[in-house]
Amino acid sequence: MNEVIEKDQIWRLQEAMSELPQVELHTEHYFADGMYCRMLARAAGTLIVGKVHKREHFYIVAKGRVQVVSGDEMQIYEAGSIVVSKPGTKRAVLALEDSICLTVHRTKSRNLDRIERELVRPDKTALFDARNVVIKEQLK
């Protein structure tokens, strides 16, 4: 039951964040034989609410330290941490230090819009597109 409550709170956090100014974070995309890696740098104090992924993937903290809330869990991860992210998870991530985090996914596609449709559940309230660019019409 707590997990449902916490997930709902993360959705409400995303809604509240839509009222605030958004920052487009430096994002890089890498491709290798059947793999896609998304690298996202963020300054200390940056709060991110992620999208819900359909499949298991790796979440790697390459630099810094982040606090991650998902379900009824709160964890702090630091550089060198590798997490197997389960499908259906929605997270809020706070950078406690300047940080760089990566997600690594299985896909044959190299088209970011196709990758988003393949790997992420549709979310009409999402604040960012597949390139991590602010979706202007979502902001009020």
- Domain extent, residue 97, equals 2-124
Range 72-83 burial, b when 16+ CB lie within 10 A, else e: eeeeebeeebee
Per-residue pLDDT, 7: 59
Q: Is residue 140 part of a domain?
A: no
The predicted structure's pLDDT at residue 1: 33
Q: Rounded to two decimals, what is the model's pTM? A: 0.86
pLDDT of residue 88: 92
Indicate whether 13 belongs to any domain: yes
Residue 129 lies in a domain: no
Residue 49 lies in a domain: yes
Half-sphere exposure of 3 (CA within 13 A, CB side): 5
What CATH number is given to the structural domain containing 85?
2.60.120.10
**Res 97: pLDDT:** 98
- Work out how many domains the chain is built from and give that number: 1
pLDDT in tens, the chain (140 residues): 344 445 588 889 999 998 888 889 999 999 999 999 999 999 999 999 999 999 999 999 999 999 999 877 899 999 999 999 999 989 999 999 999 999 999 999 999 999 999 999 999 988 889 998 998 755 44
